[in-house]
Amino acid sequence: MLKVRKAVIPVAGLGTRVLPASKAIPKEMMTVVDKPVIQYVVEEAVAAGIKEIILVTRNGKSAIEDHFDSHYELEAELARKNKTALLATIQHIVPADVSIVSVRQAEAKGLGHAVHCAANVVSDEPFVVILPDVLVHNATGQVNDLARMIGEFELNQAAQIMVGEVPIDKVHLYGIADCNGIMPKSGGSTAIKGLVEKPTQSEAPSNLAVIGRYVLPAQVMGLLAQGKPGAGGEIQLTVAIDELLTEQAVDAYKMMGTTYDCGEKLGYLMANIAYGLQHGETADGLRSFIEALD
Ligand code: G1P
């Protein structure tokens, strides 16, 4: 049985939808309550059993790698002042058995190109792709969606693409899945017949949008290596997955959690409110504040 141990997280994007905030800091380092967005995403991967995280990054984004590295002066200072709880929040952000490595994407040639930059590190193993703009929030006690997708892949080797329903006037923003008219149950998978990147409303085969979590076999890297440009002239992951469909089973997994797109302003604000209402230090104060708003 092929185990899924590696996750590719493309972080080389310019973050133009959240300018000017992302001019000098990576958009992945923007804070939701008290942690950068990238930390939530890495924690989601770790909770799903991932042991090796491969960041696909670029110049000017080293704050992301620094965040997961140790910070000797700060740790020594907090230890000296006996600030144990605070010290724990910056130490061991990932467990000791999880490694984080990075590769570079020297040119902005699309998501498929970014994923292919990790090909040598992924090697011949199946892997997960996580788009870091999208936070997936699963209810307390619920096995996270990514872990369920990995479980499904390990059971029957079918690639798993996380989907969620979007309003029909938003299909042009996403990869859209053709599931032969079948609507998968939340938390369940159904076979995909085809995938189309950013279709018009009339071209869209459904309103099931690719949400930013994928479990893929190693042969996707070979398909991406051919570098066929798709929508917008970029090398699209969606195109490679659509080709994979001719070789093996690919499933749409319908998510159970709630998503927040932190790569755009409204989604980022909504994430801060949703996560702030669940954080022990901020929940009560934030709720009172919202209730008192006109
Ligand atoms: C990318 C993918 C698209 C997917 C979307 C999810 O598009 O190409 O298939 O639906 O992420 O956020 P982007 O948002 O990078 O244009």
Tell how far the Cα of 221 is from the centroid of ligand 1, in angstroms. 18
Higher pLDDT, 41 or 232: 41
Cis peptide leading into residue 229 (ω within 30°) = no
Tell how far the Cα of 210 is from the centroid of ligand 1, in angstroms. 7
Indicate whether residue 114 lines ligand 1 (CB < 6 A): no
Quick one: average pLDDT of 229-235? 80
Half-sphere exposure of 156 (CA within 13 A, CB side): 13
Indicate whether residue 132 lines ligand 1 (CB < 6 A): no
Question: CA 97 to CA 95: how far, in whole Å?
Answer: 6
Across the chain, mean pLDDT equals 93
Tell how far the Cα of 212 is from the centroid of ligand 1, in angstroms. 7
Indicate whether residue 174 lines ligand 1 (CB < 6 A): yes
Q: Which atom of ligand 1 is nearest to the CA of 237?
A: 8
Structure tokens at 18: 């959240």
Per-residue model confidence (pLDDT) at position 123:
95
Strand runs (DSSP E) across 96-207, as ranges?
Answer: 99-104, 127-130, 134-137, 159-165, 175-178, 189-191, 194-197
Quick one: average pLDDT of 277-293? 96
Q: How far is CA 212 from CA 8, 59, 60, in A?
A: 12, 23, 24
Asked if the model's pLDDT at residue 2 lies above 80, the reply is no
Asked if the model's pLDDT at residue 230 lies above 80, the reply is no
Q: Which atom of ligand 1 is nearest to the CA of 174?
A: 10
Quick one: average pLDDT of 73-78? 93
User: Which of 27, 174, 214, 264 for a ligand 1 pocket mutation test, highest count of atoms within 8 Å of Cβ?
Assistant: 174
CA angle 222, 242, 232 (to 5 degrees): 90
Indicate whether residue 210 lines ligand 1 (CB < 6 A): yes
pLDDT in tens, 161-185: 999 999 999 999 999 999 999 999 9
Fold observed for domain 6-156+211-261: Spore Coat Polysaccharide Biosynthesis Protein SpsA; Chain A (3.90.550)
Cβ–Cβ under 8 Å, residues 159 and 217 = yes
Indicate whether residue 111 lines ligand 1 (CB < 6 A): yes
Q: How far is CA 208 from CA 84, 95, 178, 198, 204, in A?
A: 46, 35, 8, 12, 9
Per-residue model confidence (pLDDT) at position 17:
85
pLDDT in tens, 119-167: 999 999 999 999 999 999 988 888 899 999 999 999 999 999 999 999 9
Per-residue model confidence (pLDDT) at position 16:
85
Asked if the model's pLDDT at residue 35 lies above 90, the reply is yes
Domain boundaries, the chain: 6-156+211-261
pTM of the model: 0.94
First to last CA, the chain: 57
Nearest to 174 by CA among 111, 118, 126, 247: 111
Tell how far the Cα of 30 is from the centroid of ligand 1, in angstroms. 20
Tell how far the Cα of 120 is from the centroid of ligand 1, in angstroms. 23
Q: Which atom of ligand 1 is nearest to the CA of 209?
A: 10
Cβ–Cβ under 8 Å, residues 142 and 32 = no
Q: Is 285 exposed, middle or buried (0-12, 13-18, 19+ CB in 10 A)?
A: exposed
**Residue ID of nearest Cα to ligand 1 atom 15:** 111
